[in-house]
Structure 1
Amino acid sequence: MNERRSGIWDMWRSRASLRTGRSFDLGKMDLSQLWMAYLTYPTILAYFGLIVASAFLALRHHPSLMQILPPVIAVIAVYPVAWYLIHRFILHGQWLYRSPLTAGLWKRIHFDHHQDPHLLDVLFGSPLNTIPTIVIITMPIGYLIGGGPGAFAALATGFATTCVYEFFHCIQHLAYKPRWGWVARMKQLHVLHHFHDEDGNYGITNYLPDRLFGSYYKDARARVRSAHVFNLGYNIAQAARFPWVMRLTGAPPRDRPDGAKPSA
């Protein structure tokens, strides 16, 4: 028992040493350290709180099972498609960085993540962006199926699904080889998205939309390596025309990540 307590304490003390100059560095973490970082991360704690609050609002008037269960199933089914569409056409779109009004949003929600895929702070979306998006996607579905209780059941499911997605997203950037084959395969496909060709494999846990919409590829031999895999097309030439992301970054866009910075 004492050895177990010592191990947990060592993990807590190691949290600071896992940070680079800007963020937790997934490239330096193992699975147990990820669990500690994930379960204490403010964004994830906020989602946990919103799951509880949404579930309470869904159940407070004792709705029937048919008001609750179908919205939950519907959100689970719709989520992979919604994520695919957002990821492909908004996060990878080249229109947000062309305006000074939206350049900062694009930089935060995805450009920084591709510039250095191992930084935990930019792997998680900003709650100011993710929470309204989850509300917009889930609550209308739930309301149409089950009224008010259905809307809040759908919202709770959206936050819970987001937590699952974010954990597996961390796994895919972690210095860790998954033991389960299906998790290893998910990681392999996502690594291709980040390090080989960004114009494909947009899924996180589900690649069925990629297969349906023709953006799936199974290995590096299937495609030529993209020159824009780290900058999403926002290269030096584009930065000269649309400089707002570069100004916010404080440096020109990189063609590859800098690599891990030494611990502070």
Structure 2
Amino acid sequence: MVVQGFTVDLNKPLVFQVGHLGETYQEWVHQPIVSKEGPRFFESDFWEFLTRTVWWAIPVIWLPVVCWCISMSVRMGHTTPQIALMVVCGIFVWTLLEYTLHRFLFHIKTKSYWGNTLHYLLHGCHHKHPMDGLRLVFPPAATAILCIPFWNLLKLISTPSTTPVLFGGGLLGYVMYDVTHYYLHHGQPTSEMPKSLKKYHLNHHFRVQDKGFGITSALWDRVFGTLPLGKAGEKSR
């Protein structure tokens, strides 16, 4: 049920409020509040805990899984060059998945109560509070659930001996994505490439939120024509 003229109370848990915004949710969620203090999501301390993840938990939890998956394919007889090539392929597949999820799922338009609520949990909260350091990376429990269809998809298109290393490469790509995403918000890069990437991503948050869906690179934005325009009408470099 949508409450007409509803106003979100930022001093109360937000998740079950935002659905009442109805069609005004999209406008509200894309007006960022720049604060390192994140909002409370739930009354329940248990559910609140599950929404908060420190950035370093991502490599600590998932890099051992990456190594284990790669070692499985090594034990099945693949050579080092073959392993390296398949890891790179897995990372490449992840970059396309990263772009696709961000563009078509994370930025889906919603207006129903539960549509708004689920979108806020999935990605809207990040656009509303882009500097919330404990909600920048994906909670490990949610990642584990999403790994299941990714593994099964790879099983359909690859052999039993290559599935583990391709999965490991894709998972490594995810780890690179999540730690890069955190760095783009909270790091202070000094070299040109990370400075350019940080500017590119913050442009997506604060200027052109319907363009620039790449996080680790602008490759797929160039391929699919979602590269944002610069101030003078030129495409961003």
TM-score category by the smaller chain? 0.5 to 0.7
Give 1:49's aligned residue. 64
The alignment partner of 1:156 has SS state of helix
User: In structure 2, how many angstroms separate the alpha carbons of the residues matched to 1:119 and 1:144?
Assistant: 38
**Which of 97, 112, 120 is matched with 1:98 structurally?**
112
Q: Which amino acid aligns with 1:128?
A: A
Distance in 2 of aligned mates of 1:76 and 1:48: 14
SS at match of 1:62: coil
Q: How far off is 1:171 after superposition? A: 1.8
Indicate how the Cα distance of structure 1 residues 191 and 222 shifts in structure 2: closer, same or farther if over 3 A, else same. Answer: farther
Question: Shift of the alpha carbon at 1:203?
Answer: 0.4
Match of 2:227 in 1: 216
Q: Secondary structure at the residue paired with 2:215? A: coil
Deviations 1:143-186 (A, max 9, x none): 634x223111111112211121112211211152x122111111
Partner Cα separation in structure 2 for residue 65 and residue 220 of structure 1: 47
Other-structure match for 1:81? 96
**Equivalent of 1:153 in 137, 142, 165:** 165
- Structure 1 unmatched runs, 5+: 1-18, 24-36, 224-264
**Contact between 2:70 and 2:83, CA under 8 Å: does it hold in 1?**
no
Conserved? CA contact 1:109–1:126, under 8 Å: no
> Following the alignment from structure 2 to structure 1, what is the Cα–Cα distance between the partners of residues 113 and 143?
21
Map 1:95-174 onto structure 2 (within 5 A).
95=110, 98=112, 100=114, 103-137=116-150, 140-141=153-154, 144-145=157-158, 147-174=159-186
Q: TM-score, normalised by structure 2?
A: 0.66
- Alpha-carbon RMSD across the aligned residues, in angstroms, is 2.9
Please tell me whether residue 186 in structure 1 is matched to residue 201 in structure 2.
no
Q: Deviation at 1:83?
A: 1.1
SS in 1 for 2:186: coil
Maintained 8 Å contact 2:184/2:201: yes
Judge conservation of contact 1:67–1:150 (CA < 8 Å) in 2.
Answer: no
Q: 1:204 offset after TM fit, Å?
A: 0.8
The aligned residue for residue 16 of structure 1 is none
The 2-side partners of 1:99 and 1:20 are apart by 26
Change (3 A) 1:137 1:104: same
